[in-house]
Amino acid sequence: MNHNDFGSGFAWGTAVSAFQTEGYRMERGAGESIWDRFLQEKLITEEIQEPVRTASGSLLHYPKDISLLQDAGFGHYRFSLSWPRIMPSGKFHLNKKGIAWYNVFIDHLLKQGITPWVTLYHWDLPQELQEKGGWASRDIVHRMEEYAYVAARYFGDRVKNWMVLNEPSVFTGAGYLLGIHAPGIKKLDTYLKAAHHALLAQSAGAAVLRSQIQNANIGTALSFTDFEPQGQSRADIQAAERLDALVNRMFLEPTLGMGIPEEARPFMERIEPWISPQDEQRMKFDFDFIGVQVYTRQIVSAAPWIPMVKARIIPPEKRSVPLTAMNWEDYPEALYHAVTRLHRNYYKLPPMVVTENGIALHDERGADGEVHDHRRIEFFSNALQGLKRAMNEGADVRGYFAWSLLDNFEWAEGIKPRFGLVHVDFNTLERTPKKSWHWWREFLR
């Protein structure tokens, strides 16, 4: 199998995010983000102080990164804009230095023959907006519209492929319900408001991009975990369906005009006081593609004692399965299951683009200076075979972006889990292509 098996128009690329790779986040006029504050208050240790500041150093080393992308044969690059680097307070006050850097970066990509795919929001909300409620405030919808307008105005002449949000189920759930991600809040009602406003902002931002950019290809990037029941009892099957509705379908079905998934309504009914009469209509948008992001599966059993969801996840470490550096199950088949389920369940689904898929390992350079990440090669090989099988069964998939080009700052997990095709020494910022990078170069020839 090689790239030709997927068709001549298939988009092959890698993906990164601004916060995880750029570094130097509050320099050159940029503002503070919720992740800068969250890490400073809760997570920074002396060991990761410098990696927090520099991340992968792409703000300075982007020519080398683009050269590595090009040498491997990738023709597309997905990256995010940093909202506080462009609009430090989150409002209509612009940082000209930040805008200038993104213009240089985009021009360099295009000069090297790489097609840019831009994500508007990949989790780094300006801290000033969080102090006014963040995603739990309905004002965030208007702020997203302003931000989308600025991005379209300054970059839309050259960037035609756009994603509005990255994994809204994760940044709302982990940030406002579980408290394990920024801004570190653990309140059900706050999470419900954040989820509702993210749905509204997703469509509102897309509408601005559509109105301002000619020939735009507009999507949004949603995470899809493969939830499977522990047994074949009706209770276990329904428990898996409830989690699927809350995590996977919550941010898809409203955009398709289907409303909140029925299985999620008992959980979401407390949101009704914040819903305006036209909100269900406002959530709808005719996206050109849906970004599908898949990493693993979860095994679910019924748990009547757990309020509302009445389901629990069986931790993978208790199932005697191979684990990644994120303690997720190493299960590349999850991509096939997610894509075929989407294809089977939604007859009005736009074309799909796999905007993230990959595996985190504890990569180290060997005595020969190389990174022998053969397990990552096996993961990609199996995931792509499953994706091709899904396409043979009728799934309309237009592209695949490996996560990630570079080892990066992996949010609350710091620098130990490594997703990259290219090893980054976080002390020197030296780049070393891994064996998986060489595998992709052969695959894309």
Q: Hey, which residues are catalytic here?
A: 167, 356
Contacting residues for 244 by C-beta, under 8 A, at least 6 apart: 227, 263
Torsion of the alpha carbons at 301, 305, 310 and 314, rounded to the nearest 10: -30
Here the tokens at position 307 are: 């309020």
Q: Which residue has the tokens 């088949």?
A: 333
Determine the angle formed by the axes of helices 334-345 and 374-392, rounding to 10 degrees.
20
d(CA 399, CA 213): 22
Neighbours of 216 (CB within 10 A): 17
- String of DSSP letters for 355-421: EE----B-----TTS----HHHHHHHHHHHHHHHHHHHTT--EEEEEEE-SB----GGGTTSSB--S
Going from the C-alpha of 54 to that of each of 82, 126, 261, 298, the distances in angstroms are 15, 18, 41, 33
